[in-house]
Amino acid sequence: MKEREKIVVTGLVFLMLLAWLGFPLHHSHRFAGSFWGGVLGVTGALLMLVPLAYLVVKRNKQLKQAVTKHVSMRTLLAWHIYAGVLGPILVILHSGHKYNSALGITLTAMTLLVVVSGFIGRYLMSGFATEIKAKKAMLSELQTAYDQAVVEVGSHPATAESLRLFSGFFSRLTAGFLLPEASDTVDSSGQSTITLVRLAESIADVEFAIATHEDFKQWFGKWLKFHIVISFVLYGLMFVHVYYAVYFGLRWFE
């Protein structure tokens, strides 16, 4: 279900970008003020308010308890995602690709930025979280196998002594080339030595991968805050745009 959602949303984001890039081929000065242009604009603006509702419900404990009795947070998140992409598509179509005013250009740019930043934050953050969970499970298995190998090597003092050859920095780097692959021609103590060194290398690699993914996850946490801030900037610009549209009149009533 989640994979299907990702595919659909990715397609909608590309559709939004294509709709925006259509201005060299299509340019209508009067469409935004026409009846159908107004319908697209109002519908798009209402859809763009849905993500704001999700944000309020998520951060208000009492409201969250009242709402989740009827609708789950997962469903609200799905509405948040789909409305957050469909609304901008309708708004861009509403513009008729008429980017003549500073407000219109800024509003369009902020709309694209909010959608793209939300898309990146949503799916990359969840991807990092899933990857970290899988890597930690792998690390746990490797550490268990490593502990067993330590016990086996510890029962052979001569074998344990041979591991001192790989205690230095450069010797650890070359261990993968110096050690033979475990095979039937290697005795049990030798196989334990090889296994121990290989496990140590694998544990180091996985720990490094986890640390790297944790850094990315932390960075994208800041990205999410950035997404929320620019979303409120977008709502402010949208309010100004609607105000001037009403102030100067709706042309389809002329």
Measured between alpha carbons, how far is 237 from 111 in angstroms, rounded to an integer? 10
Burial annotation 112-124 (CB, 10 A radius, 16+ → b, else e): bbbbebbbebbbe
CB 160: neighbour CB atoms within 10 A? 16
- Chain mean pLDDT for the chain: 76
How large is the average pLDDT for residues 216-235? 82
Per-residue pLDDT band for 160 (boundaries 50, 70, 90) equals low
Using a cut of 0.85, tell me whether the model's pTM lies above it: no
Is the pLDDT at 113 greater than 60? The verdict is: yes
DSSP state of 180: P
Per-residue pLDDT band for 65 (boundaries 50, 70, 90) equals confident
Measured between alpha carbons, how far is 43 from 38 in angstroms, rounded to an integer? 8
Per-residue pLDDT band for 153 (boundaries 50, 70, 90) equals low
How large is the average pLDDT for residues 184-197? 54
Share of the chain above pLDDT 90, in %: 2
How open is the CA angle 3-75-53, to the nearest 5 degrees?
120
What are 166's two structure tokens?
Answer: 């790989």
CB 218: neighbour CB atoms within 10 A? 11
